[in-house]
A and B are shown apart, each in its own frame.
Chain A
Amino acid sequence: MSESSIQHRYATSGSSVVRVEGLRHDFGGRTILDIPNWTAHKAEHYLVLGPSGSGKTTLLNILAGLLRPTAGTVSVSEQDIGSLGSGVMDVFRGRHIGIVFQTLHLLSALSVADNLHLARYMAGLPRQDSRVRRVLDDLGLRSLTNARARALSQGEAQRVAIARAVINEPAVILADEPTSALDDANTTQVMNLLYEQAETCGATLIIATHDRRIKDRFTAVLELGARQ
């Protein structure tokens, strides 16, 4: 039903950050995802490519432990996340996984800086103003530190979402269609930022997209096929 292929451009030797084995996910009896074996290594970056409806978001949700797969195991930082209880999974996710959602979902009641502070608080990490300031600086958001998240433009909100994903220095950053709403110039900028930030904190970047403009930078592409 579903056809997945893995194209490694380079042979990789780093330790695995994400490992998927025998993964399958069904929605209402329909198999959406079927990935027998896939590994993402430390400090390398991956693209999940496929047309709309091919299961990219579903895969990222599973990798993030937000959705339990129908079958198979997922390990993040050598931890089988399927074996974690809901509460423990939430805390694990907060510490090890940064997520940039397709629709950004900033907390509109809070300021830009508080969105970042909240990410640390929810993950049970101590408040660290210097870290928040540095990330905001790196992403060119310094002047918006106290702005309400609600008042941001699409491009600004996208950068805040990236800032929030990297603030806890996760092992893996999952980004869902981070450029789909952006023009070429903004796409380049956002991709550069994501890339830089992932490098800075030594995180593995996994980006789901149908945007072939950004294919070039990546070590490996996980291509999800269109379903019949």
Chain B
Amino acid sequence: MNLLTLSLAYLRDRALNSALNLVLLALGVATIVLLILFASQFEERLTKDARGVHLVIGAKGSPLQLVLSSIFHVDIPTGNISLAEATKISKHRLVASAIPLALGDAYRGFRIVGTESSYPASYKAELDDGRLWKKPFETTIGARVMKETGLKVGDMFSGAHGIKGTGKVHEENGYRVVGVFKRTGTVIDRLILTTMESVWIIHEIKEEAKAKGLMIEGPPSEEREITAMVIRYRSPIAAITLPRYINANTGMQAASPGYEIRRLMALVGVGVQTLQGFGIMLIATAALSMFIALYNAMQNRRYDIVIMRSLGATRRKLFCQILLEGLILACAGTVLGIVIGHAIIELLGQLLPQARAMGLTGVIWVREEWYLLLLSGIVGLVSAALPAVQAYRTDIAVTLSAR
């Protein structure tokens, strides 16, 4: 028997009420944890995928769409640009590196991207098996692609038109897997990389060209098109001059991933903040409800307090016992809420395709969660403070003679 078991006995004594408050608090905490985990992973994912990319060049249209489609590979591309024109930009003195991307097909939901070996290198992707693609129709696939499609080195597959991979299947052109990347935690995990020629051949060569046996060559170089080009600057000055130059003097559009991500997060942030406010309201309701429960319980416990005092308990001990009751309930509710929040995120990450693509996981700990624990401690103390003071102030003789 000590203050802890005593507090637990009192909580058990009004079990239904304690359980209700516990659930109320847990729901509030779970809501906030859910948002914290989602937002942090979402932002981390975006930043990770866009790391090292200063500028994206593509067809005119929505800059956000261009960034989404060519960096995160989630939206449809804005269109195509001329390879020759893009190459001119890549030779600009302010450009450190430029990687062309040619999109168009997909295999079971995973995009096939025609590019150069510098693309996976920019994400520090390492080979797990096989080698990098060299010739047209050779592919090196991401870890997630392997896991979900079961493709392995040596396997053949056919891409389907459209980035969702649900369009017409290009039966005639079989891709071959020559390598698999290790998991990177970036967009590379979800991509099938090949040469740009593969994409050109499939899309540009029509029936007649095929008849002429031009398959392996692709279209003549002046007609070649790509979807986008991702660029790294040589110097920060480029951020001021280069986008303006491209947007004003070429038929292409330049978009800054950093800027677009900030814009996107600001939009998402409004929703996150609204929901977070809702979670805080739930927590406040729980605190109020805990206070009311404890306050009411104190009316019946006046005699218990007198008894404990007469048994030798000091005022301070009783004060602490009641604070402890609030703390236990608040901490239990918070821990339950944190567990629920993590479980939901983990479940979403396993079941929801979009969340899975994002690599959403519940098995992480975010710093903000410490603040939540701290907050719950405060909630517990605040809700128990007044009842505890009441207990402290209880006058034994007066209570005993009150009939």
A and B interact physically: yes
- Determine the distance from Cα of A41 to Cα of B316 in the docked complex, in whole angstroms: 34
CB within 8 Å for A66 and B9 given contacts A101-B400, A114-B1? no
Is chain B's interface secondary structure helix, strand, loop, or mixed overall?
helix
Partner of A121, one of B1, B310, B401: B1
Q: Is the CB of A118 within 8 A of B311?
A: yes
Q: How large is the interface on B (under 10, 10 to 19, 20 to 34, 35 or more residues)?
A: 20 to 34
Cβ of A127 under 8 Å from chain B? yes
Min Cβ gap B216→A in Å is 85
Q: Which residue of B lies closest to A114 (CB)?
A: B1
Task: Say which one of B134-142, B172-180, B300-308, B328-336 lies at the interface with A.
Answer: B300-308
Q: Which residue of A lies closest to B14 (CB)?
A: A109
Q: Is the CB of B310 within 8 A of A67?
A: no
Cβ of B45 under 8 Å from chain A? no
Min Cβ gap A90→B in Å is 5
Total A residues in contact with B, Cβ cutoff 8 Å: 34
- Determine the distance from Cα of A123 to Cα of B64 in the docked complex, in whole angstroms: 71
- Determine the distance from Cα of A123 to Cα of B304 in the docked complex, in whole angstroms: 15
In chain A, positions 100-118 with a C-beta closer than 8 Å to chain B are: 101, 103, 105-110, 114, 117-118
Q: Is the CB of B400 within 8 A of A57?
A: yes
Chain A residues, CB < 8 A from B308: 107, 118, 122
Q: Is the CB of B310 within 8 A of A127?
A: no
Task: Say which one of A91-99, A201-209, A213-221 lies at the interface with B.
Answer: A91-99
Cβ of A79 under 8 Å from chain B? no
Q: Which residue of B lies closest to A123 (CB)?
A: B312
Cβ of B397 under 8 Å from chain A? yes
Q: Is the CB of A127 within 8 A of B303?
A: no
Cβ of B315 under 8 Å from chain A? yes
CB within 8 Å for A93 and B312 given contacts A108-B13, A114-B9? yes
Chain B residues, CB < 8 A from A76: none
CB within 8 Å for A127 and B396 given contacts A99-B310, A118-B311? no
Cβ of A120 under 8 Å from chain B? yes
Question: Looking at A92, A122, A164, which has the most chain B CB atoms within 10 Å of its CB?
Answer: A122
Cβ of B278 under 8 Å from chain A? no
Min Cβ gap A113→B in Å is 9
Partner of B316, one of A58, A87, A94: A87
Chain B residues, CB < 8 A from A114: 1, 5, 9
Q: Is the CB of B1 within 8 A of A109?
A: no
* Cβ proximity bits B384-397 to A, threshold 8 Å, 1 near / 0 not: 00000000000011
Q: Is the CB of A120 within 8 A of B1?
A: yes
Q: Is the CB of A107 within 8 A of B307?
A: yes
Cβ of B317 under 8 Å from chain A? yes
Chain B residues, CB < 8 A from A105: 303-304, 306-307
Q: Which residue of A lies closest to B300 (CB)?
A: A108
- Determine the distance from Cα of A187 to Cα of B9 in the docked complex, in whole angstroms: 32
Chain A residues, CB < 8 A from B241: none
Q: Is the CB of A119 within 8 A of B401?
A: no
Min Cβ gap B14→A in Å is 8
Q: Which residue of A lies closest to B6 (CB)?
A: A118
Chain A residues, CB < 8 A from B10: 109
Cβ of A190 under 8 Å from chain B? no
Min Cβ gap B5→A in Å is 8
Q: Is the CB of B311 within 8 A of A66?
A: no
Chain A residues, CB < 8 A from B303: 103, 105
Cβ of B235 under 8 Å from chain A? no
Min Cβ gap A97→B in Å is 8
Min Cβ gap B19→A in Å is 16
Cβ of B12 under 8 Å from chain A? yes
Q: Is the CB of A122 within 8 A of B306?
A: no
- Determine the distance from Cα of A204 to Cα of B309 in the docked complex, in whole angstroms: 21
12 more A-B residue pairs beyond the given contacts A86-B314, A108-B304, A110-B6, with a C-beta to C-beta distance below 8 A: A57-B400, A61-B397, A64-B310, A66-B310, A87-B315, A90-B315, A103-B303, A109-B13, A121-B2, A122-B311, A122-B313, A124-B312
Q: Which 7 A-B pairs give the minimum distances between C-beta atoms?
A: A94-B312, A109-B13, A117-B1, A67-B397, A123-B312, A122-B311, A122-B313
Chain B residues close to A by CB (< 8 Å):
1-2, 5-6, 9-10, 12-13, 303-304, 306-317, 396-397, 400-401
